Amino acid sequence: MRHFSTVPFAGTPEQEEQLKSWLDQNKDMPGVVMPALQKAQETYGYLPIEVQRMVAEALGKPLAEIYGVATFYSQFSLAPKGKYRISVCLGTACYVKGSGKIYEKLQEKLGISGGECTPDGKFSLDACRCVGACGLAPVMMVNDDVYGRLTEDDLDGILAKYTD
């Protein structure tokens, strides 16, 4: 079962205006739900219930229908991205060098599943495919910082760098 983000929604009036004017102009487009959700995610970075409700109301569709589309495509995220976005490479080279274990360990340490964000909004965790540093496998990134030749023992030290 999916866990829902407990990070409070912090949308701004500008974001709302931006999304609503797009919805207003495009609501009659055939197959509008997908592009609407793309626009919403582009605007807010993720699709919390507050944003999906805006989409549902503007398009005159049940929220359940919007939610069905949002949960079908892995491109859509229901959780916000953290201040520090952790991506663990699960590409072939990293995977055979044990990045799966690293990914599991991070979930355990942060207390969240992949695709989620810690309740304080600090860290989010995702799996990614090949960052182009296979020679350093297994690899993870925190925002733009790359960490390679990882072992589980390195993780506490890395996370500790991101304290503020």
- Please report whether residue 30 would count as binding other proteins according to CB under 8 A: no
- Please report whether residue 65 would count as binding other proteins according to CB under 8 A: yes
Strands (E), the chain: 84-89, 123-128, 140-142, 145-147
Binding residue for other proteins, selected from 67, 93, 107, 114, defined by CB under 8 A: 67
Q: Of residues 86-125, which lie at the interface with other proteins (CB under 8 A)?
A: none
- Please report whether residue 62 would count as binding other proteins according to CB under 8 A: yes
Closest-CA residue to 60 (of 91, 82, 32): 32
User: What DSSP line would sit under 75-94, residue for residue?
Assistant: T--SSPPPSEEEEEE-SHHH
DSSP, collapsed to helix, strand or coil, labels residue 73 as coil
Judged by CB under 8 A, how many residues of this single chain contact other proteins?
16
Binding residue for other proteins, selected from 10, 17, 21, 72, defined by CB under 8 A: 72
Binding footprint of other proteins on the chain (CB under 8 A): 1-2, 4, 49, 52-53, 61-68, 71-72
